[in-house]
Amino acid sequence: MKVMILAGGYGSRIADVNDEIPKPMILLDERPIIEHVINIYKYYNLKKFIILSGYKHSKIKSFFQKNSKKFSNCEIKIFDTGIHTLTGSRILKAKKFITEKHFLVTYGDGISDIDINKLIRFHKKNSKVATITAVRPPARFGELIIKKNLVDKFDEKIQLNKNWINGGFFVFDKKFFKFIPKKNTMLETLPIQNLLKSRNLACYKHRGYWQCIDNRRDLNSVKSILKKREAPWIKKS
């Protein structure tokens, strides 16, 4: 099964960190974010990747060329989908590379300890065109539990208890390409709405670690975890 990694956006909210490289190439513990993403899938013996690049495509291509030995056990295609192409249309442009019944899609800036095998089994069991992973994001502020005007508990790293959001780990049937309009579109708008209308979007709930590296604060949070050597998304075979 092939894995598409969306890695073509501008990353404007994190441009203050390094605007010379695309966001998936920002380093985490001396490895770019995209390498961490690839390793999540490699752990589950998924080694065929289509990287959907755009903004600063050459930077991504150069990295994989220079590190070809590191990824010698993988099949990696760097596909330039265009600078201005939106996420849904990037996927549609890569349709020609999908030959199997199912394929996976994720963002090039999200890390998690999600069990990919369980996600795939869930998708196949439900027989829908698409499965989206739902996560509860970490809160931006610590939570105070107060009893009788005294702080009873302070939890710095809680998760929001109410709302589920898009965690960015998808499984799609090949039929999904029919749900993407030909006009330039985001995955998260018309394609998802079309799936909803036809009752073809299943939801896999992941209750473990998840983090989208969207800005400097997110990046610093992940780096602090790495410093403690407590990174839950890094699994040893």
Is 112 a domain residue? yes
Q: What is the pLDDT of residues 150-171, one digit of tens each?
A: 545 555 555 555 678 999 999 9
Going by C-alpha positions, the residue among 205, 152, 198, 157 that lies closest to residue 175 is 198
Is 234 a domain residue? no
Query: What is the residue type of 139?
Result: A
Question: CA 209, CA 213: separation in Å to the nearest integer?
Answer: 13
Measured CA angle at 219 (ends 66, 59), to 5 deg: 25
Domain count across the chain:
1
Is 237 a domain residue? no
Question: CA 237, CA 73: separation in Å to the nearest integer?
Answer: 15
Residue 227: predicted pLDDT: 87
Going by C-alpha positions, the residue among 87, 91, 70 that lies closest to residue 173 is 91
Residue 151: predicted pLDDT: 47
Query: What is the residue type of 149?
Result: N
Residue 115: predicted pLDDT: 98
Going by C-alpha positions, the residue among 47, 51, 65 that lies closest to residue 6 is 51
Is 73 a domain residue? yes
- DSSP state, 157? S
Helical H runs in the chain?
33-42, 57-66, 87-93, 116-126, 190-197, 216-227
Is 170 a domain residue? yes
Measured CA angle at 75 (ends 174, 178), to 5 deg: 15
Is 138 a domain residue? yes
Is 28 a domain residue? yes
Q: What is the pLDDT of residues 223-236, one digit of tens each?
A: 999 988 889 999 87
Per-residue pLDDT of the chain (237 residues; tens, 9 = 90+): 999 999 998 877 676 666 788 899 999 989 999 999 999 999 999 999 999 999 999 999 999 999 999 999 999 999 999 999 999 999 999 999 999 999 999 999 999 999 999 999 999 999 999 999 999 887 665 555 656 555 455 555 555 556 789 999 999 999 999 999 999 999 999 999 999 999 999 999 999 999 999 888 899 989 999 988 889 999 876
Range of the domain at 171: 2-227
Residue 236: predicted pLDDT: 77
Give the domain CATH number at 85. 3.90.550.10
Q: Which residue has the tokens 């390793």?
A: 39
Is 90 a domain residue? yes
Query: What is the residue type of 65?
Result: Q
